[in-house]
Amino acid sequence: MRRISLIIFLMLLTFSPIWAQDKAQEKPIPEAEVFTSTQSVRINGVTHNLKTRAGTMLLRDENNEPIALHGFTAYFKEDGPSKRPIIFSYNGGPGSSSYWLHMGVMGPKRIVINDPGYTRAAPYELVNNDYSILDMADVVMMDPIGTGLSMPVGKADGKDFWGVDQDIRAISLFIMQFLKEYDRLQSPKYLLGESYGTMRNAGVMNYLLDKGYALNGVVMVSSVFDIRSLAFPVQESTSYLVHFPSYAATAWYHDKLPNKNANLEAFVDEVRKFTEEEYLPALFKGGRLSDAEKNRVAEKMEKYAGISKDIWKRNNLRMTASEFFNELLREEGMTVGRLDSRFKGINPLPQNQYAITDPQSDAISPAYTAGFLDYLHRDLGVSKKLTYKTSAYSAPGFKWDWSHRGNEGWGSMISINTAIDMADAMNKDPNVKVLLMNGYYDLATVFYGVEHTIDQMNLRPEIRDNIIMTYYEAGHMFYTHMPSLIKFKKDLADFIKDTQ
């Protein structure tokens, strides 16, 4: 009887839910797949042949446990030296894959679009990217977990990667392991991120430095570090102030200003001065502002931003970005772009307070998406059985954790600021330089917002001098604008030359 009872006990133990759960966690680890090809790019009359690797790398945690298959596309110059510069590049979101930068400016080919209008449906044109940086550096396009071909494996889950600090850790682990895997530890190292990718950059540069990986330079394309500059929180004036020069630049572009200054840079400087010396004090006074003072400031705002002073007064001198998109061209039945306010599109609900679509996103997304996927499978040879995810937003359970080490106790998402990480890294490594690239017509990450953030970093003058600011007469993805694309290449090339 005792023997039978023992057998029954062992059987129950074997099939208990706890055991089943442990077995479920021990799911097999998929193998990383890398697809090799040879690509080429012609720059300044010289053809550069590239050994290309596209696929996934098995990512391990600090205890050597597998946690993800991390997607990437790497372009290595054939017979290039191991000390050739290497740039790790990604987009933002958070939750976006890297195909925008890949096909817009970084890769050997780029998508042709009708800037600043709507691009026709397929066939889309892919052309040699005359302005790629591949003549000077190798490039690794990275797709964060949940995007591209990247996915958690083993006991890891999406939540282990979807957050400010989780993302910084995972991206840094990939970079460190990639450098070792491909014998590039001695290469000059760069980060290049766009949008949220700049917020990520600030954390990654500090994380890597703490692990003994110093960077030569960090490139910020359309930057944001302090979410307060974008969020328009209640009873907080920062967002309204830092957006106003971009509103003014947009009105300047769409010819909504009588007798406007023909020089955009001079005009923007004038608006900066007004914002700091007149607009800021008015918002600070709040309810103590007299009617006469409010009227005087509103008249100036109409002069600079092309919207009636009566509307500014009714709104207590405040207007969110989404309200501005609809308001500027409301009488024409049009709305301007968030990502690039040079773009304008039909406003189906002109009576709305807020815009419901982004003309720039509508105008270029199909070309980038279809063009890239065709290139990925046809040129790079990635298996068509694999699904490339352009974003993580539809992934089950995708939710971003906005808490960040160093911002504890600040309260909410709108308090997150990774500029503290960048300042820490720059103070610990006074040799590292940062290139900030800003579009005047970017209403997603406004140029005056990042200027304000840098001003608040409390850097010593010699460290502040390591931050270089450049500006472009286009929007968030300013490389869609040919003159800005040409300038992008020159500015990036000069930066790499100066930081080796």
- Check whether 370 has a pLDDT greater than 50: yes
Q: Give the C-alpha separation, 183 to 20, whole Å.
A: 41
Please check the confidence at residue 7 and state whether its pLDDT lies above 50.
Answer: no
Query: Would you state the pLDDT for residue 235?
Result: 83
pLDDT of residue 84: 96
Confidence of residue 52 (pLDDT cuts 50, 70, 90): very high
Arithmetic mean of pLDDT over the chain: 93
- For 135-158, give the DSSP string: TT-EEEEEE-TTSBT-EE-TT--G
Q: What is the pLDDT of residue 291?
A: 97
Q: Provide the 10 A C-beta neighbour count for residue 179.
A: 19
Beta pairing class for 46-60 and 34-43: antiparallel
pLDDT tens digits for range 141-156? 999 999 999 999 999 9
For the chain, the straight-line distance linking the first and the last C-alpha, in angstroms and rounded, comes to 80
- Degrees, nearest 5: CA angle 51-55-61: 115
Residue 38: pLDDT over 70: yes
Instruction: Please name which of 247, 369, 385 lies closest in space to residue 319, comparing C-alpha atoms.
Output: 247
pLDDT at 10: 36
Kindly list the distances between the CA atom of residue 444 and the CA atoms of 229, 291, 439, 477, in Å, as whole numbers in the listed order.
10, 32, 10, 10
* Measured CA distances, 247 to 87, 253, 315 (Å): 33, 10, 15
What's the average model confidence in pLDDT over 200-204? 98
**CA 97/CA 142 separation, integer angstroms:** 8
Predicted confidence at residue 278, as pLDDT, reads 98
Range of weakest confidence among 2-16, 211-225, 361-375 = 2-16
DSSP letters, 73-94, are EEEEETT--TTS-EEEEE--TT
Residues with Cβ within 8 Å of residue 266, at least 6 apart in sequence: none
The answer, yes or no, to whether residue 6 has pLDDT greater than 90, is no
CA pair distance 434, 217, nearest whole angstrom? 6
How high is the pLDDT of residue 2? 40
Please state the rounded mean pLDDT for residues 52-69: 98
In terms of Cα–Cα distance, which of 304, 335, 348 is closest to 443?
335
Q: What is the pLDDT of residue 233?
A: 84
Task: Look at residue 137 and tell me whether its pLDDT is greater than 60.
Answer: yes
**Predicted local confidence at residue 361, as pLDDT:** 97
Confidence category of residue 267, pLDDT binned at 50, 70, 90 = very high
The predicted model gives 425-431 an average pLDDT of 98
C-alpha R_g of the chain: 25
pLDDT value of position 355: 87
Going from the N-terminus, what domains does the chain have, and what CATH number goes with each?
34-228+365-498 (3.40.50.1820), 240-360 (no CATH)
Task: Find out whether 89 and 72 touch, Cβ atoms under 8 Å.
Answer: no
Rounded Cα–Cα distance for residues 29 and 453 (Å): 43
Share of the chain above pLDDT 90, in %: 87
Percent of the chain with pLDDT over 70: 93
Rounded mean pLDDT of 390-419?
Answer: 83
pTM of the model: 0.93
Of all helices (H) and strands (E), which one includes residue 8? helix 2-14
Q: What is the DSSP string of 464-490?
A: HTTEEEEEESS-TTGGGSHHHHHHHHH
Asked if pLDDT for residue 11 goes beyond 90, the answer is: no
Return the number of other C-beta atoms located less than 10 Å from residue 288's C-beta: 7
pLDDT in tens, 323-364: 999 999 999 999 999 999 999 999 988 888 888 899 999 999
Position 409 scores a pLDDT of 56
Q: Does residue 177 have a pLDDT over 90?
A: yes
Confidence of residue 82 (pLDDT cuts 50, 70, 90): confident
User: 413 falls in which pLDDT band (50, 70, 90)?
Assistant: low
Q: Are 370 and 122 in contact (CB under 8 A)?
A: yes
pLDDT at 376: 98
- Segment 118-129 shows an average pLDDT of 98
